[in-house]
Amino acid sequence: MFFLYILFFLILIFSIPVGFRIDYKNSNLVFIVRVFFFDFNFSSNKSKNKKNEAEKFEKRKKESNKQTHKSKLKIWGKLKILVNLSGCFLQFLKEILKKISIKKFNLKLKIGGKDAVDCARNYGIIMPIFYGIKNFLPKKIKINIMPDFLCEKIEPELEIFVKIFPYYIFFYGLIFLFKCTRIIITRKLFSKRLKN
């Protein structure tokens, strides 16, 4: 009986849609996750991103200095594993993207320039491209492009809201993990046979 309660609870949890909202304004990125009626806000500033990029660059530099030359066979085996794993990940991503429903997608582009002539030139370059792809976009995707003579550069404002059911992520995640473990195990068995 207890098992049925747990199973019912898990089915209920995985049936609640999860929404993701992304807002980008004035070089500020806001990422909001909505579960049922609760919003979880994750925002980032440019300064934090720059610090993180600098730290990542230093870590990569240290790791590259620590690495030693390995045999070509090991490198080839690792490359093959990486290619297979990336293929599995792309398949996982493709399946998840199919299940995502776009509720809201608003893109507002303010086209600016150094002066009015430069602004008009930039606007004239972007608009034919936009009108070429406008008919192929879904109706939920709204793009608004306008000239801004007071701005010196192109300023985008983006607002996205998408929904997905967590059981899709769980199901396709399990398939992805199964494929990854199968690739790694078969590669290890193959390398053991080569050593023997």
Angle at 155 between CA 100 and CA 44, to 5 degrees: 60
Q: Where along the chain do its domains lie? A: 17-49+76-195
The one-letter code for the residue type at 45 is N
Q: What is the per-residue pLDDT for 69?
A: 45
* Per-residue pLDDT tens over the stretch 4-19: 767 776 676 667 777 7
Nearest to 165 by CA among 107, 109, 98: 98
Write the DSSP assignment of 7-31 as a string of letters.
Answer: HHHHHHHHHS-EEEEEEEETTEEEE
Q: What's the average model confidence in pLDDT over 42-63?
A: 62
Q: Which residue would you say has higher pLDDT here, 167 or 50?
A: 167
* 53 Rama sector, left if φ>0, alpha if ψ -120 to 50, beta otherwise: alpha
Site of tokens 């078969």: 186
Q: What's the average model confidence in pLDDT over 148-162?
A: 83
